[in-house]
Structure 1
Amino acid sequence: MTTEIPPGRWCLYVLECRGGVMYAGITNKLAKRFAAHQAGKGAKFTRANPPVRILGARPYADRSEASKAEYAIKKLPRGRKLAFLSAA
């Protein structure tokens, strides 16, 4: 999985947060969204578990496809999430 996403393109991203936990989300501005998470202005989860780094991101055709991928990856156990990240 990469962190090189063309500007404006929707993507699924996975963060490693404090304590080794993972967070998945979607955005069309990855750098800006990551900065928001780090500043405590992102999701409630990342305010409680600040992100350490971006594990990866995968581009999708549109927001709908990215949302479907987010829903699917959030249901996976940690090991399968890591495999998903490695597969891209």
Structure 2
Amino acid sequence: MEKTNNYFMYVLLCGDNSLYGGFTTDLKHRLKQHQTGKGAKYTKSHLPVKMIFSKQFDTKHDALSAEYHFKHQSRKKKIEYLIEQGINVKQYGLKV
């Protein structure tokens, strides 16, 4: 059985209005990495980034599964997911 811990799936809004989904165990540290160009290759070329959503999971598997699912959705489905999670996407200029 996997050890219970703090695992997160998060969503960044990038400078070009694209959405990036990621996984981490430390939200503050990971966001800082992305903002300074030391995160993912994708976000490095789409600065600035802003974290607009995060969800905590008990297992690494569940968080990685959520990240994988998010990344493989269309933009429309990603925005619909954020709305389902209670995010006011209009405040970020996102449209369904």
Shift of 1:52: 2.7
User: Between the two proteins, what is the percent identity of the paired residues?
Assistant: 33
Give, in whole Å, the separation in 2 of the partners of 1:20 and 1:55: 12
Between 1 and 2, higher relative CO (CA 8 Å, sep ≥ 6) is seen in 1
Q: 1:42 aligns with which of 39, 50, 62?
A: 39
Give, in whole Å, the separation in 2 of the partners of 1:50 and 1:86: 23
TM-score (structure 1 length as normaliser):
0.84
The match for 1:85 is 82
Answering whether residue 13 of structure 2 is matched by residue 11 of structure 1, we say no
CA contact (8 A) 1:15 1:51 kept: no
The match for 1:31 is 28
TM-score (structure 2 length as normaliser):
0.78
Aligned partner of 2:54: which letter? A
Give, in whole Å, the separation in 1 of the partners of 2:38 and 2:56: 23
Unaligned runs of 5+ in 2: 86-96
Q: Deviations over 1:26-57 (max 9, x none)?
A: 00110110000001110100111124311101
Give, in whole Å, the separation in 2 of the partners of 1:69 and 1:36: 21
List, as ranges, runs of 4+ consecutive aligned residues in structure 1 with deviation greater than 6 Å. Answer: none
Unaligned runs of 5+ in 1: 1-7
| Bigger Rg, which one | 2
